[in-house]
Structure 1
């Protein structure tokens, strides 16, 4: 990188699964208060519904939990005008990239 080039801006990507009906103290202390405090950074906060599909969930319950989780994230102080909040399954590139990696990366 040339000496006069700007340093890259660090990014934060963090997610929470919509599997519970509400937050617990561990969610707040471990993640959410940090999300709110750091939301002015280049941060992306995801409701990672695809990550929760390792076990069977009722689709209606999953949808309701996703909507409720989004409302709770805004209620604890995340500002959608300041930070990015997204639902993982609404970003098709996530699944597309996962497919490419599954087909090309060996362990």
Structure 2
């Protein structure tokens, strides 16, 4: 089944460290497949969602970088998707 031309995929993942097998089989494997099926795909590292619990700021920064590297290593292609960090989007000045 081919998606309509205006179809869009959006999903996010918390930066809880390097993804484990469950993350890969439950979500990331699908993310890689979806980037080849839809014309507009956006994936976010939802770091603001992770601060609902106390976080060490240095560890959170490292987890964000680890998650970005892991997504790329799993096959997320920045030429096909928009990959962004949630906290970096906004218009607060």
TM-score normalised to the size of structure 2? 0.86
| Aligned equivalent of 1:4 | none
Structure 1 segments of 4 or more deviating over 4 A? none
Between structure 1 and structure 2, the one with the greater Rg is: 1
Instruction: Specify every segment of 5 or more residues in structure 2 that has no aligned partner in the other structure, as ranges.
Output: none
Question: What is aligned with 2:81?
Answer: 83
Q: Output the aligned Cα RMSD.
A: 1.6
Distance 1:47 1:15 in 2: 6
In structure 1, stretches of 5+ residues that fail to align are 1-6, 96-107
Give per-residue Cα distances to partners, 1:8-52, cap 9 Å, x unaligned. 611111000002x21111101111000001113111010000011
| Alignment pair present for 1:68 and 2:60 | no
Q: Within 2, Cα distance between the matches of 1:70 and 1:77?
A: 11
